[in-house]
Amino acid sequence: MNIIKYMKSIARPMRDLALLFVDSSYDFYRYARYSGMLHRKGRQARDFKIIKIYHALEKSLSFRNRKSSSGWGVASSLVDYLTDSKRHHGSYSYHDRVALKTLSDFYGAGLDKEAGGSTRASLKDFVLQTQEDMAKEGGVIQYSRQLLTDGQLDDPERFFFSRYSVRDFSAEPVSHEILKRALALASKTPSACNRQGWHVYHVDRRDSIDEALSFQNGNRGFGHEVPCLLIITADARAFEASVERNQQLIDGGMYAMSIISALHSLGIGSCCLNWSQGMRGDLLFRRAIKISPHHTVVMMLAVGYPRDSLKVCYSARTSVDEMYTYLND
């Protein structure tokens, strides 16, 4: 018996290492196959690239001590991308038009009329030619500390500490309208270069919820009563560099938390359902649930109105002092 236990103690780590290699190889394949690294000509991938470029100009315009010589190379690159986008697709997308507005603001904010050289002259012509296509949004807006603090909560502890994971939902349906309102609130989530590389799938039919949850291992005991399910994903096309391979999960996780807080602010409960799946589980899930191959599953979220009376997990919290280190002592 001791020999068997010993052999198992050796075999299990070896098995786990083998699975790690397989699953990591699968992650490598998916990022190489579906990220913006290779998909740079499709409309969605172009939009992500356009956002990344025009957001660099927005940041430049927002600096208090802005150099007159900065941003012209970015502006020239943006003109090239916009010209290429119009040539390939025949029209400007929404973010193309936002980029046009940002370019116009950038040109109009020139501190030094000699800055930019030949780029300045060509940019002027491009801005004049595309005025009718510009969106109203884009660039920068004048703001104040007062406006930033208008949303300050009178009792933030009450809001944050009153949120619990809900696993006991009422039969009251969650309307599409209020769900979209929550997603609109969550859309203010920060993301790398403002690319907003996320996508949400909404499931509210019983058989579809049950099928999706059959691939998730944390809903036992309550999954059969979940009235509404969100599958939160990250769009790999928003990221193209190898160093951004984990950014899709970071941005997607931040977005998921914003959705949770938005739902809580609207009186709707939720419960995070992790997506701890390897290659096999992910492939089986995609075979059953038709999501885009470009979308990486971040997590699922059970959503619904809580019952009038219910039990929630106490979920004791680790002390802040145990997970906080001040480095400048």
Residue 314 predicted with pLDDT over 70 = yes
Q: What pLDDT score was predicted for residue 115?
A: 63
Q: Shortest CA distance to 102 belongs to which of 67, 69, 121, 77?
A: 77
Alpha-helical regions (H) of 63-201: 72-89, 94-108, 118-129, 145-149, 156-161, 176-186
Cα 251 from Cα 260, distance rounded (Å): 14
Q: Which two tokens stand for residue 85?
A: 């986008």
* H or E element, residue 47: helix 43-62
Residue 12 predicted with pLDDT over 70 = yes
Cβ contact 37:240 at 8 Å: yes
Cα 180 from Cα 186, distance rounded (Å): 10
What average pLDDT does the chain have? 93
Residue 69 predicted with pLDDT over 70 = yes
Q: What pLDDT score was predicted for residue 42?
A: 80
How deeply is 237 buried, as exposed, middle or buried, from its count of CB atoms within 10 A (0-12, 13-18, 19+)?
buried
Residue 189 predicted with pLDDT over 80 = yes
Q: pLDDT, tens digit, for every residue of 111-156?
A: 556 666 777 888 889 999 999 999 999 999 999 999 999 999 999 9
Q: What pLDDT score was predicted for residue 110?
A: 65
Sequence-ordered list of residues with C-beta below 8 angstroms from that of 102, at least 6 positions apart, any chain: 54, 57, 58, 61, 78, 138, 139
Q: What pLDDT score was predicted for residue 100?
A: 96
Residue 267 predicted with pLDDT over 90 = yes
Cα 94 from Cα 48, distance rounded (Å): 11
Residue 298 predicted with pLDDT over 70 = yes
Beta strands (DSSP E) in the chain are: 198-203, 228-235, 269-274, 295-304
Q: Shortest CA distance to 248 belongs to which of 291, 297, 185?
A: 297
Cα 295 from Cα 224, distance rounded (Å): 26
| Torsion over CA: 246, 248, 251, 257 (sign) | negative
pLDDT above 70: percentage of residues in the chain: 96
Please give the model's pTM, rounded to 2 decimal places.
0.93
Task: Tell me which residue has tokens 């997607």.
Answer: 252
**Lowest mean pLDDT, pick from 116-120, 151-155, 252-256, 307-311:** 116-120
Cβ contact 193:251 at 8 Å: no
Dihedral-angle region of residue 300 (phi above 0 means left; psi in -120 to 50 means alpha; beta otherwise): beta
Residue 62 predicted with pLDDT over 60 = yes
**Strand arrangement of the beta sheet that strand 269-274 belongs to:** 198-203, 228-235, 295-304, 269-274
Residue 8 predicted with pLDDT over 80 = no
Q: What pLDDT score was predicted for residue 4?
A: 73
Q: What pLDDT score was predicted for residue 95?
A: 96
Q: What pLDDT score was predicted for residue 318?
A: 96
Residue 1 predicted with pLDDT over 60 = no
Cα 302 from Cα 152, distance rounded (Å): 28
* Model confidence band, residue 58 (pLDDT cutoffs 50, 70, 90): very high
Task: Tell me which residue has tokens 């236990």.
Answer: 5
- Mean pLDDT across 168-189: 97
* H or E element, residue 2: helix 2-34
What are the residues facing 296 on neighbouring strands?
Answer: 234
